Amino acid sequence: MLESEGLVPIEAIGLMFNPLEHEALGTEETSDVEPGYITQIIRPGFRLHDRVISPAQVMVAKALQES
């Protein structure tokens, strides 16, 4: 219904972190996802036409620390 008015969710999972569309709430050490890519959406974000009205709150992958 709201998509017909131009409100669409911001894509995030599996994409490279983009500070214009995403808000990083933290990082996760993982070997499954390349560093800098989004691993989890905490809260979805939305765009109205071409304007971000609420960035997606996400977790971002970082490389595993070698011990």
Per-residue pLDDT tens over the stretch 22-54: 999 999 999 899 999 999 999 999 999 999 999
Task: Give pLDDT, residue 1.
Answer: 66
Q: What is the pTM of this model?
A: 0.86
Question: Which of 2.30.22.10, 3.90.1170.40, 3.30.1330.60, 4.10.910.10 is the CATH number of 2-62?
Answer: 2.30.22.10
Q: How far is CA 34 from CA 10, 14, 16, 46, 58, in A?
A: 20, 9, 9, 25, 15
Task: Give pLDDT, residue 2.
Answer: 73
Mean pLDDT value across residues 53-63: 97
Task: Give pLDDT, residue 61.
Answer: 97
Q: What is the mean pLDDT of the chain?
A: 93
